[in-house]
Structure 1
């Protein structure tokens, strides 16, 4: 039986500027925002599905608090993994979900870095007081470009293309009512319905050229906007957003806007909030790993700070839930947060 272990403060690592590379040796993690136009990206510097699985299994073997679970399979029969840190069933539980869209991978890179740091022993009182679920790379087929449609117009280089859609061309983040695709079924049946989840952050990427108050943003957020979300769930969601905003926007290199998103229940943040009363937050990072439109692709100069932004987001969230400070988070900033615009 695995014994309890305590978690590393990623915040402390970030403040020292020593966040280590997490993929191949050529994958350099920088410290500053890579604003400066659209940049080509070498997809060979991103985790492949197989490399991610190898990483997760290695961490599972090293970390006593971690348990790795296969929750289902993709269209192309790739196993879908969930990393679990459950020390006390009565603790509040948070789910971090990445890569519903296969061409939005830097949040997955950050989530894997976060998992690695959860296996060290420099921070006390985190895993003892919060349960953490991390589901990286839900859309593994899209991430690997293993699809039944052409990707010849995609622009990333490095031997592999990444697509928004799953293998049969479905947007998984529009399948949370019908739940037709096996990836969506696995998420709902074996995660959202199986575990008593209080909070969820659904991590995505948007295009590169967005502004807030005249400044280029590094990301944007939105709470559930479906009319059937209960008021108390909506308020908890806004508090979750306050924690993330205060952690990221205050850094100086992360500027957050309000995402202009839809209200359909078929969208992940809305579906989970309506169907399971989970407080949810959509967090959209700047730039995609691959796209038919080159203007939406972000490259090597920017991936370091975006990975750092992901780790900062996850770390701040689990700390606020663990110490209860999320309950008193001030949500008034939402009233004046500018909705992002595209230029």
Structure 2
């Protein structure tokens, strides 16, 4: 690459990071201003009034958005990788200019009631079509699965959702249409959604990094303050130590860009070692650096206190956008290799305030 081009790319990546850190990448799929206080201490269920899903993109709206962006963006390609139990197409957004470049996969909504990460991923996709971010794609390939569990997201399932608390267009559930938790199916791979991910993404593309984006309950805290989210690398003893270290570097980029904002407050997630979970199983099976990010609060749930109202949407979406943009930029310019992982040694594991444990990851 010519020296002038290198300089131009570095300047573009610096601009990309600045936009990510300030939240200027939030391009209005669902936008809202960020509060001055940490996300975790922001509006809770009682302060939000009614829990509703009416402001969240439906599956059809998401597909329409993706097709529109595909038509507008020369670098983007939209692929159907399989179908859900109920026959909905599962989409993969691709930015691949050179298979030899490092590739990161962003996976959202394995659990259908965890949608703000999907909203953030759509904003990220929209930004990748602008001139300000075009140069980042010279250094990294990007894959996005924006809604793996579309049936759960639409409440189109073969079991009752009458106990779910959201009021609006639809209820949303953690499980797929058959009542199966997809993030416990990464060894047996029985469900069509999990098969689509493994057969037509993990087995087809050379992926180097993956961030699996989820939501947890509302009561997790670190150092006495409610968290905006929590992160964790593979914890199975079967994971290659070199893969774990690269995963920790991925987490370092996220922590440095989110926790430093003043409104973000991250903890270390308390996760298990089972390889049925994507964070662990995918790292072992494919030798991929993986990171779990659990955002605070769910879009719907059958228990009070697990869901957050729509006033929390904007800044949790912003947190997702910051996560995706900062990691893409760090991989693109190679700075991820210098990420300091020592913070993991002192990062406190989150604890839960009284009133029950959330069903997370």
Q: Cα offset for 1:37?
A: 2.3
Q: Residue in 1 aligned with 2:145?
A: 135
- Mapped pair 1:320 → 2:334: no
What's the offset of the Cα at 1:15?
2.8
Identify which of 126, 134, 159 aligns with 2:136. 126
Map of 2:262 onto structure 1: 252
The question of whether the paired residues in 2 share the 8 Å contact of 1:10 and 1:311 is answered with: no
Match of 2:234 among 221, 224, 235: 224
What is the Cα deviation at residue 282 of structure 1? 0.2
CA RMSD of aligned residues (A): 1.6
1:30 aligns with 2:33: yes
Name which of 183, 190, 193 aligns with 2:200: 190
Note if contact 2:43-2:312 (Cα within 8 Å) is conserved in structure 1: no
Question: Residue 209 of structure 1: CA displacement?
Answer: 1.2
> Does the 8 Å CA contact 1:102/1:141 hold for their aligned counterparts?
yes
Deviates more, 1:30-39 or 1:122-131: 30-39
Partner of 2:6: none
Task: Looking at secondary structure, tell me which structure has more helix per residue.
Answer: 2
Q: Check 1:55–1:124 CA distance in 2 against 1; reply closer, same or farther (3 A cut).
A: closer
Q: How many residues align?
A: 334
TM-score (norm 1): 0.94
In 2, the alpha carbon distance for the partners of 1:295 and 1:14 equals 29
Q: Tell me which residue corresponds to 2:282.
A: 272
Q: Scaled by the length of structure 2, what TM-score is found?
A: 0.90
Q: Is 1:105 aligned to residue 115 of structure 2?
A: yes
Tell me the residue number matched to 2:163.
153
Check if 1:19 corresponds to 2:29.
no
Contact 1:14 / 1:308 at 8 angstroms: preserved in 2? no
1:173 aligns with 183
Please say if 1:92 is aligned against 2:95: no
Matched, 1:311 2:321: yes
Q: Deviations over 1:94-145 (max 9, x none)?
A: 0000000000000000000000000000135310010000001100000000
Compared CA separation, residues 124 and 274, structure 1 to 2 (3 A): same
- Judge conservation of contact 2:27–2:126 (CA < 8 Å) in 1: no
Report SS of the residue matched to 1:72. strand
- Tell me how far 1:278 sits from its aligned partner: 0.4
Instruction: Please list every run of at least 4 consecutive aligned residues from structure 1 whose deviation after the TM superposition is greater than 3 angstroms.
Output: 16-20
Contact 1:11 1:312 in 2 (8 A): no
Structure 1 window deviating more from structure 2 (118-127 vs 284-293): it is 118-127
Instruction: Work out whether residues 222 and 261 of structure 1, in 8 Å CA contact, stay in contact via their aligned partners in 2.
Output: yes
Unaligned runs of 5+ in 1: 1-5
CA contact (8 A) 1:70 1:80 kept: yes
Report the alpha carbon displacement of residue 18 of structure 1 after superposing the two structures with TM. Answer: 7.6
What CA distance in whole angstroms lies between the structure 2 residues aligned with 1:257 and 1:301? 22
Change (3 A) 1:170 1:18: closer
Report the CA distance shift for 1:284/1:73 in structure 2 as closer, same or farther (over 3 A): same
The 3 A distance-change label for structure 1 pair 13 and 248 is closer
Aligned counterpart, 1:3: none
* Rounded Cα–Cα distance in structure 1 between residues aligned with 2:163 and 2:18: 39
